[in-house]
Amino acid sequence: MERARDPVKLKQSIWPFVPQFLVSLHNLRNLARATKPLHVRSCPLCGYDGFFRHSGRPPRLDALCPQCGSLERHRLFWLWFKGEKSKLDEPILHFGPEPILTAKFRTLYSEYTTADLYNEADLNLNIEDIDLQAGSINTVICNHVLEHVSDRKALPEIYRVLSEKGRLIVSIPIVEGWDHTYENGSITNPLERELHFGQSDHVRYYGRDFRERLRSAGFIKVEEVTAEGQDVVTYGLLPGEKVFLCSK
Protein backbone atom coordinates (compact mmCIF):
# COMPACT_ATOMS: atom_id res chain seq x y z
CA MET A 1 0.00 0.00 0.00
CA GLU A 2 1.38 3.45 -0.96
CA ARG A 3 2.41 5.51 1.99
CA ALA A 4 0.70 8.87 2.43
CA ARG A 5 2.94 11.83 1.57
CA ASP A 6 4.15 13.88 4.49
CA PRO A 7 2.13 17.15 4.26
CA VAL A 8 5.02 19.13 5.71
CA LYS A 9 7.47 17.84 3.10
CA LEU A 10 4.85 18.38 0.37
CA LYS A 11 4.41 21.99 1.44
CA GLN A 12 8.18 22.47 1.54
CA SER A 13 8.53 21.11 -2.00
CA ILE A 14 5.79 23.35 -3.40
CA TRP A 15 6.48 26.55 -1.49
CA PRO A 16 9.49 27.77 -3.55
CA PHE A 17 7.28 27.90 -6.65
CA VAL A 18 4.40 29.82 -5.04
CA PRO A 19 5.89 33.34 -5.39
CA GLN A 20 6.72 32.72 -9.04
CA PHE A 21 3.19 31.45 -9.67
CA LEU A 22 1.67 34.51 -7.98
CA VAL A 23 3.84 36.85 -10.05
CA SER A 24 2.82 35.06 -13.26
CA LEU A 25 -0.85 35.25 -12.27
CA HIS A 26 -0.48 38.95 -11.52
CA ASN A 27 1.17 39.55 -14.89
CA LEU A 28 -1.59 37.68 -16.71
CA ARG A 29 -4.24 39.77 -14.96
CA ASN A 30 -2.41 42.97 -15.89
CA LEU A 31 -2.10 41.82 -19.52
CA ALA A 32 -5.81 41.01 -19.63
CA ARG A 33 -6.66 44.47 -18.30
CA ALA A 34 -4.19 46.21 -20.62
CA THR A 35 -5.54 44.53 -23.77
CA LYS A 36 -9.23 44.76 -22.89
CA PRO A 37 -11.17 46.46 -25.73
CA LEU A 38 -11.92 50.10 -25.07
CA HIS A 39 -15.15 50.52 -27.00
CA VAL A 40 -17.47 48.99 -29.60
CA ARG A 41 -16.11 49.63 -33.11
CA SER A 42 -17.42 49.28 -36.66
CA CYS A 43 -15.65 47.67 -39.61
CA PRO A 44 -16.41 49.40 -42.94
CA LEU A 45 -15.11 46.36 -44.85
CA CYS A 46 -17.38 43.64 -43.49
CA GLY A 47 -20.03 45.56 -41.52
CA TYR A 48 -19.10 44.05 -38.14
CA ASP A 49 -20.13 46.05 -35.06
CA GLY A 50 -18.66 45.02 -31.73
CA PHE A 51 -15.39 44.70 -29.87
CA PHE A 52 -12.17 44.48 -31.86
CA ARG A 53 -9.10 42.51 -30.73
CA HIS A 54 -5.62 43.78 -29.96
CA SER A 55 -2.83 43.14 -32.44
CA GLY A 56 0.89 43.69 -32.83
CA ARG A 57 3.86 43.98 -30.53
CA PRO A 58 3.48 46.03 -28.41
CA PRO A 59 -0.28 45.37 -28.56
CA ARG A 60 -2.42 47.97 -30.31
CA LEU A 61 -5.86 48.08 -28.72
CA ASP A 62 -8.96 47.59 -30.88
CA ALA A 63 -6.80 46.96 -33.96
CA LEU A 64 -8.10 43.69 -35.44
CA CYS A 65 -11.63 43.07 -36.69
CA PRO A 66 -12.52 39.56 -35.44
CA GLN A 67 -14.83 38.92 -38.39
CA CYS A 68 -12.75 39.81 -41.47
CA GLY A 69 -9.29 40.33 -40.01
CA SER A 70 -8.91 43.93 -41.14
CA LEU A 71 -6.37 46.16 -39.42
CA GLU A 72 -6.40 49.93 -38.97
CA ARG A 73 -4.69 50.65 -42.31
CA HIS A 74 -7.15 48.46 -44.23
CA ARG A 75 -10.12 50.27 -42.71
CA LEU A 76 -8.58 53.69 -43.42
CA PHE A 77 -7.93 52.67 -47.02
CA TRP A 78 -11.49 51.41 -47.45
CA LEU A 79 -13.05 54.53 -45.93
CA TRP A 80 -11.14 56.61 -48.47
CA PHE A 81 -12.01 54.23 -51.31
CA LYS A 82 -15.76 54.29 -50.48
CA GLY A 83 -15.73 58.07 -50.75
CA GLU A 84 -13.57 58.22 -53.88
CA LYS A 85 -15.81 59.54 -56.67
CA SER A 86 -13.65 58.36 -59.56
CA LYS A 87 -12.68 55.08 -57.83
CA LEU A 88 -9.61 53.38 -59.36
CA ASP A 89 -8.50 53.39 -62.98
CA GLU A 90 -7.73 50.00 -64.51
CA PRO A 91 -5.47 48.15 -64.98
CA ILE A 92 -4.65 47.92 -61.28
CA LEU A 93 -1.50 46.33 -59.83
CA HIS A 94 -1.57 45.48 -56.09
CA PHE A 95 1.78 44.75 -54.42
CA GLY A 96 1.77 42.73 -51.19
CA PRO A 97 -1.97 42.18 -51.58
CA GLU A 98 -4.02 42.03 -48.39
CA PRO A 99 -6.62 39.23 -48.67
CA ILE A 100 -9.46 41.38 -47.33
CA LEU A 101 -8.86 44.07 -49.98
CA THR A 102 -8.16 41.58 -52.75
CA ALA A 103 -11.49 39.86 -52.16
CA LYS A 104 -13.26 43.19 -52.56
CA PHE A 105 -11.38 44.33 -55.65
CA ARG A 106 -11.83 41.06 -57.54
CA THR A 107 -15.59 41.64 -57.47
CA LEU A 108 -15.25 45.24 -58.65
CA TYR A 109 -12.55 45.19 -61.33
CA SER A 110 -11.77 42.89 -64.24
CA GLU A 111 -8.23 44.25 -64.74
CA TYR A 112 -7.01 43.78 -61.20
CA THR A 113 -3.72 41.92 -60.65
CA THR A 114 -1.88 41.03 -57.47
CA ALA A 115 1.91 40.90 -57.26
CA ASP A 116 4.43 39.55 -54.76
CA LEU A 117 7.95 38.16 -54.85
CA TYR A 118 7.61 35.54 -52.10
CA ASN A 119 3.92 34.97 -51.36
CA GLU A 120 1.08 33.69 -53.52
CA ALA A 121 -0.08 36.24 -56.09
CA ASP A 122 -1.14 36.54 -59.73
CA LEU A 123 2.33 37.71 -60.75
CA ASN A 124 5.72 36.95 -59.24
CA LEU A 125 7.26 40.43 -59.39
CA ASN A 126 10.19 42.14 -57.72
CA ILE A 127 9.05 45.64 -56.79
CA GLU A 128 12.66 46.84 -57.10
CA ASP A 129 12.81 45.63 -60.72
CA ILE A 130 9.27 45.31 -62.08
CA ASP A 131 9.12 43.11 -65.17
CA LEU A 132 6.34 45.09 -66.90
CA GLN A 133 6.27 47.59 -69.75
CA ALA A 134 6.60 51.27 -68.99
CA GLY A 135 3.28 53.08 -68.74
CA SER A 136 1.27 49.85 -68.69
CA ILE A 137 -0.51 50.36 -65.34
CA ASN A 138 -2.99 53.04 -64.25
CA THR A 139 -3.13 52.30 -60.50
CA VAL A 140 -0.55 50.79 -58.16
CA ILE A 141 -1.58 49.89 -54.60
CA CYS A 142 1.27 49.41 -52.16
CA ASN A 143 0.36 49.22 -48.46
CA HIS A 144 3.17 48.64 -45.93
CA VAL A 145 5.57 47.17 -48.49
CA LEU A 146 8.22 49.87 -48.98
CA GLU A 147 9.60 49.49 -45.45
CA HIS A 148 10.65 45.93 -46.43
CA VAL A 149 12.63 46.85 -49.56
CA SER A 150 14.91 49.45 -51.13
CA ASP A 151 12.47 52.26 -51.81
CA ARG A 152 15.17 54.10 -53.76
CA LYS A 153 14.79 51.32 -56.34
CA ALA A 154 11.10 50.50 -55.86
CA LEU A 155 9.60 54.00 -56.19
CA PRO A 156 11.26 54.80 -59.57
CA GLU A 157 10.14 51.39 -60.83
CA ILE A 158 6.55 52.06 -59.78
CA TYR A 159 6.75 55.47 -61.45
CA ARG A 160 8.05 53.86 -64.66
CA VAL A 161 5.23 51.32 -65.01
CA LEU A 162 2.53 53.91 -64.32
CA SER A 163 0.87 55.66 -67.23
CA GLU A 164 0.90 59.46 -67.50
CA LYS A 165 -2.48 59.54 -65.75
CA GLY A 166 -1.42 56.80 -63.35
CA ARG A 167 -1.58 56.99 -59.57
CA LEU A 168 0.26 55.31 -56.70
CA ILE A 169 -1.73 54.65 -53.53
CA VAL A 170 0.71 53.91 -50.74
CA SER A 171 0.91 53.64 -46.96
CA ILE A 172 3.93 53.09 -44.72
CA PRO A 173 4.79 53.14 -41.00
CA ILE A 174 5.72 56.78 -40.41
CA VAL A 175 6.82 58.81 -37.39
CA GLU A 176 5.69 62.35 -38.17
CA GLY A 177 7.79 63.74 -35.33
CA TRP A 178 11.00 62.75 -37.15
CA ASP A 179 12.45 65.03 -39.81
CA HIS A 180 14.34 62.17 -41.42
CA THR A 181 13.74 58.49 -42.08
CA TYR A 182 15.69 56.20 -39.77
CA GLU A 183 17.53 53.36 -41.50
CA ASN A 184 20.82 51.57 -40.97
CA GLY A 185 22.05 49.04 -43.51
CA SER A 186 24.37 47.38 -41.01
CA ILE A 187 21.38 46.15 -38.96
CA THR A 188 20.54 42.77 -40.46
CA ASN A 189 19.75 40.57 -37.46
CA PRO A 190 15.97 39.99 -37.21
CA LEU A 191 15.89 40.70 -33.47
CA GLU A 192 17.83 43.93 -33.92
CA ARG A 193 15.56 44.97 -36.78
CA GLU A 194 12.52 44.43 -34.57
CA LEU A 195 14.15 46.58 -31.90
CA HIS A 196 15.14 49.38 -34.29
CA PHE A 197 12.40 49.28 -36.93
CA GLY A 198 9.42 47.64 -35.20
CA GLN A 199 9.42 44.36 -37.11
CA SER A 200 12.00 41.68 -37.91
CA ASP A 201 11.69 42.14 -41.69
CA HIS A 202 11.55 45.94 -41.75
CA VAL A 203 14.59 47.99 -42.79
CA ARG A 204 13.45 51.50 -41.79
CA TYR A 205 11.01 53.74 -39.98
CA TYR A 206 9.89 56.62 -42.18
CA GLY A 207 10.00 60.24 -41.10
CA ARG A 208 8.39 63.32 -42.63
CA ASP A 209 10.90 63.21 -45.49
CA PHE A 210 8.89 60.37 -47.06
CA ARG A 211 7.18 63.05 -49.15
CA GLU A 212 10.56 64.06 -50.56
CA ARG A 213 11.33 60.44 -51.42
CA LEU A 214 8.10 60.33 -53.41
CA ARG A 215 8.91 63.55 -55.23
CA SER A 216 12.47 62.43 -55.91
CA ALA A 217 11.04 59.41 -57.72
CA GLY A 218 9.04 61.75 -59.98
CA PHE A 219 5.66 62.07 -58.26
CA ILE A 220 4.72 65.73 -58.52
CA LYS A 221 1.36 65.70 -56.79
CA VAL A 222 1.13 64.03 -53.35
CA GLU A 223 -2.19 64.14 -51.49
CA GLU A 224 -2.78 62.68 -48.03
CA VAL A 225 -5.68 60.91 -46.38
CA THR A 226 -5.40 61.09 -42.58
CA ALA A 227 -7.13 59.09 -39.85
CA GLU A 228 -8.63 61.71 -37.58
CA GLY A 229 -11.58 62.80 -35.47
CA GLN A 230 -14.67 60.68 -35.00
CA ASP A 231 -13.56 58.12 -37.60
CA VAL A 232 -10.68 57.08 -35.31
CA VAL A 233 -13.20 56.23 -32.57
CA THR A 234 -15.88 54.69 -34.77
CA TYR A 235 -13.67 52.47 -36.92
CA GLY A 236 -10.71 51.77 -34.65
CA LEU A 237 -8.11 53.70 -36.68
CA LEU A 238 -4.61 54.77 -35.67
CA PRO A 239 -4.74 58.51 -34.99
CA GLY A 240 -2.78 60.36 -37.64
CA GLU A 241 -2.13 57.31 -39.87
CA LYS A 242 -1.99 58.23 -43.54
CA VAL A 243 -2.62 56.97 -47.04
CA PHE A 244 -0.63 58.85 -49.72
CA LEU A 245 -2.11 59.45 -53.18
CA CYS A 246 0.67 60.13 -55.67
CA SER A 247 0.39 61.30 -59.27
CA LYS A 248 2.83 62.25 -62.04
Ranges of beta strands (E only) in 7-59 are 40-42, 49-51, 53-55
pLDDT of residue 22: 44
**What CA dihedral angle connects 8, 14, 20 and 22, to 10 degrees?**
-70
Q: What is the pLDDT of residue 38?
A: 81
Cis upstream peptide for 239 (omega within 30°): no
Which runs of consecutive H residues, i.e. helices, occur in 121-226?
A: 151-161, 190-197, 210-216
Q: Which residues have CB under 8 Å from 86's CB, separation 6+?
A: none
Contact 88, 162 (CB under 8 A): no
Task: Tell me how far apart the alpha carbons of residues 244 and 246 are, in angstroms, rounded to a whole number.
Answer: 6
d(C-alpha 10, C-alpha 93), whole Å: 67
Burial of 141 (0-12, 13-18, 19+ CB in 10 A): buried
pLDDT for res 23: 46
Sign of the C-alpha dihedral, residues 57, 208, 142, 107?
positive
Q: How far is CA 200 from the centre of its chain?
A: 14
C-alpha distance from residue 117 to each of 103, 127, 160, 163, 188 (Å): 20, 8, 19, 23, 20
Selected from 3.40.190.10, 2.30.40.10, 3.40.50.150, 1.10.10.10, the CATH number assigned to the domain covering 71-247 reads 3.40.50.150
pLDDT at position 25 is 46
Q: Where are the chain's structural domains?
A: 71-247
pLDDT in tens, the chain (248 residues): 445 555 555 455 555 654 564 445 445 555 556 568 789 999 999 999 999 999 988 889 999 999 999 999 999 999 999 998 778 999 999 999 999 999 999 999 999 999 999 999 999 999 999 999 999 999 999 999 999 999 999 999 999 999 999 999 999 999 999 999 999 999 999 999 999 999 999 999 999 999 999 999 999 999 999 999 999 999 999 999 999 999 99
